[in-house]
Amino acid sequence: MELWNHTSLSGFILLGLFSYSTYDLFLFSLVLLASAVALLGNSLFLLLIQANRHLHTPMYFFLSQLSIMDLIMMSSVVPKMAVNLLSGSKSISRGACATQIFLVVMVTGAECFLLAVMAYDRYAAVCHPLRYPVLMNWKACSLLTVASWMVGVSDSVIDVGVVFSFPYCGSLEVDHFFCEVPALLRLSCADTSLFEDLIYACCVLMLLLPLVVIVASYTRVLTAVIRMPSTEGKQKALTTCSSHLAVVSLYYGGAMFSYMQRASSRTPVRDRATSIFYTILTPMLNPLIYSLRNREITRALRKMLDRWGVPACLPF
């Protein structure tokens, strides 16, 4: 018991994603580049929404929350990974490890429900345009957003509390580039099978319930779009919805591959690969997906560039 108490109070060693070979340093440079693009893209997206009053609508309010989630996800993982590689130190304190788990789990859970809220918003806008200002007033938008965040916070508090209640008396080397729950549970001296089964059931529930809302909402949206007499209306609705569906596909593609697996079928290599997808690639791609073919965003960007005196050499 003394050994358990002693080792459980110490920190962990993150084995990381890269070594110091030329090839790995090149991959690390690509990761840093993708992170910089994600940081710039999401920050610019937030700035455009805040600065342009025409973008003060429920849809862009939810998009701003998505950008905040992406920034939190990326900033909770990439800086520590970069510091460890560049400094040669691979250690991480229990506090920092708990913080990473809390932020990653919180954002993952909150984003899942936010995507369902965004799908319902598009359903209300397309299928009930006259009632839309009532259905999606600012009070409703705020409550739905807070509820999404609270689901993520509740899930992360439980995960952090339970994970750090287990003893860690063996190797403290985490075969990952950040503290992820499955990677830590592999190091525990106790039997974690019950908790792992509960995590699996919780992940399935948290992924499938919002997915039902998303599928139901877009089934109704597509039905309404097909019946639209206006070609321009159809194109606008399909452009907006296709962007959201692309983001949903990115999120659920990574989330289902990462979280809807039994512990016995998980491997460290597969966990690292999927983690790169949802911690770095998805935050980089989300603002690009919502900006491309979005005339409101491109107009707002052009106005901002004109205001700053920057030549707007952009194809819009």
Percent of the chain with pLDDT over 90: 45
Scanning the structure block, which residue is given the tokens 């849809």?
59
Does 277 have pLDDT greater than 70? yes
Residue-level pLDDT at 97: 94
Does 193 have pLDDT greater than 70? yes
Residue 224 lies in a domain: yes
Give the pLDDT band of residue 259 (cuts 50, 70, 90): confident
Residue-level pLDDT at 308: 73
Average of pLDDT values for 84-104? 91
Does 289 have pLDDT greater than 80? yes
248: which 2 tokens?
């949903």
Give the pLDDT band of residue 6 (cuts 50, 70, 90): very low
Residue 137 CA to residue 148 CA, distance in Å, equals 17
Residue 160 lies in a domain: yes
Does 79 have pLDDT greater than 50? yes
- Dihedral sign, Cα of residue 136, residue 137, residue 138, residue 143: negative
Number of folded domains in the chain?
1
Average model confidence (pLDDT) for the chain?
86
Average of pLDDT values for 142-167? 95
SS3 per-residue string spanning 63-96: HHHHHHHHHHHHHHHHHHHHHHHHHCCCEECHHH
Give the pLDDT band of residue 156 (cuts 50, 70, 90): very high
> Per mean pLDDT, which range of 196-200, 220-224, 260-264, 299-303 is the poorest?
260-264
Residue 308 lies in a domain: no
Residue-level pLDDT at 313: 53
Residue 309 lies in a domain: no
Average of pLDDT values for 133-153? 96
Residue 116 CA to residue 65 CA, distance in Å, equals 13
Does 316 have pLDDT greater than 70? no
Residue scoring higher pLDDT (230 or 51): 51
Say how far residue 191 (Cα) sits from the centre of its chain. Answer: 30
Domain CATH number, residue 35: 1.20.1070.10
End-to-end CA distance of the chain: 67
Residue 315 lies in a domain: no
Residue 157 lies in a domain: yes
> Per mean pLDDT, which range of 11-25, 173-187, 212-226 is the poorest?
11-25
Residue scoring higher pLDDT (230 or 114): 114
Does 312 have pLDDT greater than 60? no
Does 231 have pLDDT greater than 80? no
Residue scoring higher pLDDT (294 or 12): 12
Distances (CA, A) of 12 to 58, 89, 178, 180: 42, 11, 10, 12
Residue-level pLDDT at 115: 95
> Per mean pLDDT, which range of 28-42, 71-85, 87-101, 280-294 is the poorest?
280-294
Does 310 have pLDDT greater than 70? no
Sorted by sequence, the CB contacts under 8 Å of residue 222 that are 6+ apart come out as: 241
Residue 209 lies in a domain: yes
Which domain does 90 fall in, by range? 12-299
Q: How many CB atoms lie within 10 A of CB 261?
A: 17
Residue 24 lies in a domain: yes
